[in-house]
Structure 1
Amino acid sequence: MDNGRRRIMIAIQSSLDGQRRTFKELFEFFNRHDFSVGGNWDIDGGFFDLKMGADEVEGKYYFLRIPGIPEQGNFGENDAIIRLGTPFLLVHHYQDNQDDTARYRTYTAVMDQFASPVEKDAPASDEWVRRTEEWLRKIEAKFPFH
């Protein structure tokens, strides 16, 4: 433990790192487990994001983010071969003066693209690092492609 010091974007070792599957297989697996494809992907790569929670007081959203790097084809194409990268905890800190309905939608795990982050890569507490590791271990245990 580091006595509550705050961190920025924490990489987490995982058995998913380096796994290779088609985009379709990965998309279907992650979609079944409440992940979405992050809004900033392009043909060269993207992220599978799981919104784990929010701190409404501080205006922070916590994501488990798993990078996907195409080795054959383009990210988003069903038959593209995608290699998973090192998962990490990502924290977005959004402006406090935004209307809650405009910046947070309960029907999707995707952050509202119209709310500008105050800090794109906000610090994370030890508690959120621990929670992220727990979520990741659950996903690893369910991953059918080892």
Structure 2
Amino acid sequence: MRFEETGLETFKSDLNRLDEIMKSHGLVREGQWDYERVTYDHKFEVREGTYYLRIQGHVVEGDVGKHDAIIQLMTPLLGKHYYPHGVEYGEGEDFPKHLVKTCEKVLADVKKDVEAFAY
């Protein structure tokens, strides 16, 4: 599921500041990066299954490995995890309304914080 109306994809932010903001909202980057891309995930384990709220970004300047990059955020996603195959984001997925509402709140909070430091 894509969260098209968040406005997050309009922001560019410093990687280090972004790491702090995302972590404060339960989104972690961990090892999910390369020198040109980053991915922040928030894992939700609810009665209906395991889901991931994912915010990705790509480098517009600098290098992630050197912790010196400007990141352009992309449209957030919500996916359901299927063991052992991975996460599915497709249109055919059914996402619990309470989870979608929670994700919308997290995204609004992230946007507010990123907006204060965006380029």
For normalisation by structure 2, the TM-score amounts to 0.76
Residue 94 of structure 2 corresponds to residue 124 of structure 1: yes
Gaps of 5+ in 2: none
Count of aligned residue pairs for this structure pair: 113
- Summarize the alignment of residues 97-136 of structure 1 with structure 2, pairs less than 5 Å apart: 116-117=84-85, 119-121=86-88, 123-127=93-97, 128-136=99-107
Shift of 1:76: 4.3
Gaps of 5+ in 1: 1-8, 95-115
Shift of 1:21: 1.5
Which ranges of 4 or more aligned residues in structure 1 deviate by more than 6 Å? none
Change (3 A) 1:40 1:75: same
- Summarize the alignment of residues 87-98 of structure 1 with structure 2, pairs less than 5 Å apart: 87-94=76-83
**SS in structure 1 at match of 2:9:** coil
Could you tell me which residue of structure 2 aligns to residue 55 of structure 1?
46
In 2, Cα distance between equivalents of 1:10 and 1:124: 13
Could you tell me which residue of structure 1 aligns to residue 111 of structure 2?
140
In 1, Cα distance between equivalents of 2:65 and 2:79: 22
For normalisation by structure 1, the TM-score amounts to 0.64
**SS in structure 2 at match of 1:125:** coil
Larger Rg: 1
Superposition CA RMSD, Å: 2.3
In 2, Cα distance between equivalents of 1:38 and 1:90: 18
